C-alpha cells in the first residue's frame, strides 16, 4: 500500500510530495494513521540546516502528530491499552531509556542514543507513521478534541508549559508581580495562557513585534500587550510603568529565541527575576554579568517537555482550559506555508490535516 509523504531530499530545498510505501510496524511498534501534523518553525529550521543532525535522505519531517491506531505490532503489550481505531498523540521525545536523563523521566534531554520524531525517526508529514508503542498517548474520544487541536499540543502547547513551570518554581511570581511572555507565535499563543494558569496571580504582559499577534495574546488572556518593534529598553520600562505601575518584570518566558528579545527581557528583569528561554533562533546572546550576579537574576533554558508534562497539558485541554489558535492546511501547500513560517508571518499554529 502506498501513501503520500512530504520528504526532504536535501537541505535548503523544498519538500517533495512523494508516493512511498506505508511503513510496516516492528514488533513493539504501532502504525499510526496521521490525521494532523503541526507545522513548527523548527521544521523550517531543520530544512534550512540549523540543527546539527545527520539525516538520511529522503527524509519525512514533522513532529506534532495526532492520529489513530491503524495496526498494532505483534508484541505490543496489552498494558498499553491501545487498540485499532484509538485516537492518539505521539509523545515526541524518544529517549533511549537508559541514560540518567531518561531515568529522571526527561527523555527529551536524552544524552544517549535517543532522538525525537521528525528529527531522526521519520515524522508525520505523511499519511502513516510507525511509533514505538510506549510513546503513544491515548486520547479519550469524549474529550471533544479534534486532531488539528491535539497535534500542536505535543510541542507548541507543551514547550511553553514546561518553561512556565520552571518560572513558577523560582517562586518569583504572584499577585503584584509581572510575568512576560515574549514572541507570540505558535508557542507564545499557548504561553500566555499558562502564565494565567500557572502564574500564581501575576500580571501577564505579552511582547511581540506584530499587533496581529498581540491580538491573539489578548484573546488568550494576556492582561497587557506591548509591541516591542523599534523600542529601547528605556521606552519599554516607561510603557511597563504605565501599564503595571512598575518599570521592571519578575519573570519572562522567551518563546522567540531571538538574541534581541532575550537581551531586552534580561535588561527588564528586577532583582531575583528569572528568564526562561524556550525559543531557538539565534546562536548567542550577551547578558550583563554584574546585573545577574549582584541581583541574583537567573537564566535557564527549557527544552520541549517530558511525558508527564504532556499528560498535564492534555488534561488541561480535555477540561477545555486551553484555547487553540489553529489554521488547518493541506499537504500540497506545505512549502508555501513553511515559507510563511520562516518569515514569521503565521498567526497561531498551522496544522497539516489529512482526510
Ligand atoms: Zn536517554
Cα separation, 6 vs 332, in Å, equals: 9
What digits encode the pLDDT tens for the residues 227-257? 999 999 999 999 999 999 999 999 999 999 9
* pLDDT higher than 80, residue 198: yes
* pLDDT higher than 80, residue 355: no
Confidence grade of residue 143 (pLDDT, cut at 50, 70, 90): confident
β-sheet bridge partners, residue 208? 227
Which triple of cell numbers denotes residue 24? 510496516
- DSSP, residue by residue, 75-127: T--GGG---TT-EEEE--EE--S-SHHHHTT-GGG--SS-EETTSSS--SSBS
Q: How far is the CA of 94 from the centre of ligand 1 (A)?
A: 8
For residue 273, the surrounding DSSP H or E stretch is strand 269-277
Q: How far is the CA of 235 from the centre of ligand 1 (A)?
A: 45
Q: How far is the CA of 140 from the centre of ligand 1 (A)?
A: 29
- All structural domains of the chain: 2-155+305-353 (3.90.180.10), 159-301 (3.40.50.720)
Q: How far is the CA of 114 from the centre of ligand 1 (A)?
A: 6
Q: How far is the CA of 346 from the centre of ligand 1 (A)?
A: 34
In this structure, what are the phi and psi dihedrals at residue 350, rounded to the nearest 5 degrees? -90, 140
Mean pLDDT of the chain: 96
What digits encode the pLDDT tens for the residues 257-283? 999 999 999 999 999 999 999 988 888
Q: How far is the CA of 26 from the centre of ligand 1 (A)?
A: 21
The pLDDT value recorded for residue 141 is 83
Confidence grade of residue 213 (pLDDT, cut at 50, 70, 90): very high
What digits encode the pLDDT tens for the residues 44-87? 999 999 988 889 999 999 999 999 999 999 999 999 999 999 99
Q: How far is the CA of 240 from the centre of ligand 1 (A)?
A: 43
Confidence grade of residue 344 (pLDDT, cut at 50, 70, 90): confident
What digits encode the pLDDT tens for the residues 288-303? 999 999 999 999 999 9
Amino acid at each position: 500500500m502506498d501513501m503520500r509523504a512530504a520528504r526532504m531530499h536535501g537541505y535548503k530545498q523544498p519538500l517533495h510530495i512523494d508516493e512511498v510505501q506505508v511503513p510496516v510496524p516492528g514488533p513493539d511498534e504501532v502504525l499510526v494513521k496521521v490525521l494532523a501534523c503541526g507545522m513548527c518553525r523548527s521544521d523550517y529550521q531543520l530544512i534550512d540546516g540549523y540543527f546539527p543532525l545527520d539525516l538520511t535522505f529522503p527524509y519525512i519531517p514533522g513532529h506534532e502528530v495526532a492520529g489513530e491506531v491503524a495496526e498494532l505490532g505483534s508484541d505490543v503489550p496489552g498494558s498499553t491499552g491501545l487498540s485499532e481505531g484509538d485516537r492518539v498523540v505521539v509523545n515526541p521525545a524518544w529517549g533511549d531509556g537508559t541514560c540518567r536523563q531518561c531515568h529522571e523521566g526527561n527523555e527529551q534531554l536524552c544524552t544517549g542514543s535517543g532522538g525525537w520524531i521528525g528529527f531522526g525517526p521519520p515524522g508525520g508529514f505523511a499519511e502513516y507513521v510507525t511509533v514505538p508503542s510506549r510513546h503513544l498517548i491515548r486520547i479519550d474520544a469524549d474529550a471533544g478534541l479534534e486532531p488539528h487541536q491535539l497535534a500542536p499540543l505535543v510541542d507548541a502547547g507543551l514547550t511553553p508549559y514546561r518553561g512556565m513551570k520552571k518560572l513558577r518554581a523560582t517562586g518569583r511570581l504572584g499577585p503584584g508581580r509581572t510575568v512576560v511572555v515574549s514572541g507570540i507565535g505558535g508557542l507564545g499563543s499557548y504561553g500566555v495562557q499558562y502564565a494565567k494558569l500557572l502564574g500564581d496571580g501575576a500580571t501577564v504582559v505579552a511582547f511581540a513585534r506584530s499587533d496581529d499577534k498581540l491580538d491573539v495574546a489578548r484573546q488568550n488572556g494576556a492582561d497587557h500587550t506591548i509591541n516591542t518593534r523599534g523600542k529601547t529598553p528605556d521606552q519599554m520600562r516607561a510603557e511597563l510603568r504605565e501599564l503595571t505601575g512598575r518599570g521592571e518584570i519578575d519573570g519572562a518566558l522567551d518563546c522567540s529565541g531571538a538574541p534581541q528579545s532575550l537581551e531586552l527581557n534580561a535588561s527588564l528583569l528586577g532583582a531575583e527575576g528569572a528568564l526562561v528561554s524556550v525559543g531557538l533562533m539565534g546562536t548567542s546572546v550577551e547578558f550583563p554579568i554584574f546585573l545577574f550576579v549582584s541581583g541574583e537574576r537567573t537564566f535557564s533554558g527549557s527544552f520541549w517537555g517530558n511525558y508527564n508534562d504532556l499528560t498535564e497539558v492534555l488534561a488541561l485541554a480535555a477540561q477545555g482550559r486551553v484555547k487553540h489558535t489553529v489554521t488547518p492546511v493541506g499537504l500540497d501547500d506545505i512549502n508555501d506555508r513553511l515559507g510563511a513560517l520562516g518569515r514569521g508571518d503565521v498567526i497561531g499554529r498551522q496544522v497539516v490535516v489529512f482526510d
